[in-house]
Amino acid sequence: MDFFAAEQRAKKRTARLLVLFGFAVAGTVAVGYLASVVLIYAANAKESLRYGYGEAPPLEFWQPGLFAAVAAATLAVIALASLYKWTQYGGGGAAVAESVGGRRVDPHTTDPHEHQLLNVVEEMAIASGIPVPAVYILDDEAAINAFAAGHTTSDAVVTVTRGTLQKLSRDELQGVIGHEFSHILNGDMRMNLRVSAIIFGILVIGLAGRATLWGMRYGRIGSSRGKGGGGVVLILAIGLALLVVGYAGYFFGKLIQASVSRQREFLADASSVQFTRNPAGITGALKKIGGYAIGSNLDTHRASEISHFFFAQAFESNFGGLWATHPPLVERIRAIEPEFDGKYFEPPQTVDVAKEPWSKVPHMPARAPAPAPQAAAAFAAALAAAGTLTPAARDGARAILDAIPAPVRAAARSPHDAPVLVFGLLLDQDDGVRARQTAAVASREGADALLTLRALEPFLRQLDPAHRLPVLQLALPSLKALESSALGTFEATLDELVKASGKVTTFDFALHRLVLRELSASRDPSASVAQIYSFQAVVPEISVVLSSLAHASSDSAQEAARAFAEGAAQLKLVEGSLSLLAGGQCGLAQLDAALDKLEGASGPIKQRLLVASAHVVGADGVVLAAEAELLRAIAASLNVPVPPVSALAA
């Protein structure tokens, strides 16, 4: 799967979906207009007969003024209601999970099922190069189901039901989570949120009508001669009209939603199989859903408006399956296992995690670092694997996680210890600088933080330099869970540690930028970035990025110029406009500003820039750990998830 092609497909799907919903809204306006015409005609006819004006006036179907008023009112209601729902989702994936009763998994959980779930999610996040999503559980749901939600990979969460944990084996759980990661990487999550907001906007009109009718349930409808009887009838008529109008639009909106959702499920299933190399994982989960009395049906109707988020059909489909958000189970299974005989099987009461193998796929041992000439090729492979789940990255992620000392992994999962762990990653090799850094931690964070840092130091010294950013990935969910006050102190301490030596290294820059970017994105996940579609508009910024990488890759001016030229040659449209900048013009401060602007560049610009960047650092056939970390930081700044080079090194 090509990440950039998938990104373009997601944008096209979104545009097509919005057009289809536009038709649903237009239909809602049309039905509302016709209802208004009929109501006004009926009221006028009644008045004419009541006061003896003779025959009722003729019915005029086209009334431009009335149409404009109805259209404006309908669009205003839908827009305001959709905006309200979008604002509710402003907190990102966590807000969605908590709105349906999700409980965030305690990183120090002693529940073996929950511990296994955290391991699976961490493994997939490292393999795909995205921040580890927060994990939630729907404790009261015995069904087998799951969903991913969020605006971007920075605020994504993965949520599973209690039934999923208890009924599925590790391989089956991995198949389900792989399916959800496919939705995260394919850009489906943001579109799902938009769909929910628009459908809610259309539904509000029907809800207003239902509320009107419900509010009149104790009223008595008098005759036309009774005092106020005509007013009651009019209110009931308006309520009924709103109900019909709203639910007519809602019907077609749900129809469109279901149709689009079904198309994406096959792709997510296929991506999961490709990643796990174990078709029996996801098909086993689907077969258990089919053989389970409860299946994938949820109890809480709070989740009805996000039913298209889920792994499997969350609620019974109405209208003969027209509203089904997922293909039938048998079709999904046969798409992976063509010889499926249609027989499902009942899951056990609870899977014994202690007896679960790590995986049926042979576990590859940790590998030695790749020889220098292969390192450049490894980063090219990492870039090619951007935004995907590949078997090679999966095996590499397992090796990385196995190599990270247990106390470091435990600290990464703890909101109390994760900030100190990040401080530890920044500790300098120079004793004097290190002493100033530890003093800063003690001064700003307190004695307890210093004790934790001292306890982690021996394990951090054992850490492979290539594994430092994966450790940061593991720690990000805990950092995002910090209170605002603690977060402010953490960011101030982080800034002081980075500047302690008087010279910011490429790793310091990479870590500092990644942390601040992810924390900022988690605080305002719905923020949009202006799109830049012209290479010419970002020529200065591209020059800064390539120049910075060229100088970082070699101390030789001649070698830096050669590396820059090799990268610039990958950008034919602007090659002649690019120029190698002096070191003072492309330092880390300038690189930081350039990446801020390039974040808003279109997919093709980002793709070519990353290819050019890879050529710059690989010009000498060697990609050092510091260079790989800087490249990953650049890619992450562009919202392009790239797996660790060490996870793909041969």
**Angle 11-18-102 from CA coordinates, rounded to 5°:** 80
CA distance 275 to 283: 14
Lookup: tokens for 143: 């069904």
Which DSSP category does 341 fall into? -
User: Has residue 217 got a pLDDT over 60?
Assistant: no
**Catalytic residue selected from 180, 491, 566, 627:** 180
The answer to which of 199-213, 341-355, 578-592, 621-635 has the lowest mean pLDDT is 199-213
CA distance 614 to 636: 14
Compare 404 and 6 and report the one with higher pLDDT: 404
Cα separation values, 108 from 116, 159, 372, 410, Å = 12, 18, 39, 8
Amino acid at 573: L
Is 180 annotated in the active site? yes
CB 243 within 8 A of CB 210: yes
Compare 175 and 327 and report the one with higher pLDDT: 175
Find residue 135's DSSP bridge partners. 158
Select from 87, 94, 122 the least CA-distant residue to 107. 122
**Tens of pLDDT along 225-277?**
454 455 556 566 666 766 676 667 667 767 776 766 777 888 888 888 888 88
CA distance 490 to 419: 7
Strand order in the sheet with 134-138: 103-104, 134-138, 157-161, 146-149
Select from 165, 143, 141 the least CA-distant residue to 293. 143
Compare 132 and 365 and report the one with higher pLDDT: 132
CA distance 340 to 477: 40
Mean pLDDT, range 279-295, rounded to an integer: 93
Non-local CB neighbours of 621 within 8 Å, separated by 6+ positions: 372, 373, 375, 376
**Tens of pLDDT along 506-559?**
888 889 988 988 888 887 776 666 688 899 999 999 999 999 999 888 888 899
What are the residue ranges spanned by the domains of the chain?
3-93+191-266, 96-180+280-353, 403-523, 535-648
**CA 182 to chain centroid:** 10
Lookup: tokens for 207: 């809800």
Radius of gyration of the CA atoms of the chain, in A: 29
Query: Helix, strand, or coil here: 530?
Result: coil
> What is the CATH class of 96-180+280-353?
alpha beta
CA distance 312 to 645: 34
